[in-house]
Amino acid sequence: MTKNQKLVTLSTTVKDSLGYLPNCTAEQIPLVAKKTVPRSSAPKVFWNHFVNFVNEKL
Q: Report d(CA 39, CA 1) in Å as an integer.
A: 7
Total number of domains constituting the chain: 1
Name the pTM for this structure. Answer: 0.48
The 8-class DSSP code of residue 3 comes to T
Q: Report d(CA 16, CA 31) in Å as an integer.
A: 25
Q: Are 29 and 10 in contact (CB under 8 A)?
A: yes
**1 is a domain residue:** no
pLDDT above 90: residue 46:
yes
- Domain span including residue 12: 6-57
For the stretch 20-33, pLDDT in tens is 767 666 788 888 99
Q: Report d(CA 37, CA 48) in Å as an integer.
A: 17
Sequence-ordered list of residues with C-beta below 8 angstroms from that of 27, at least 6 positions apart, any chain: 11, 12, 14
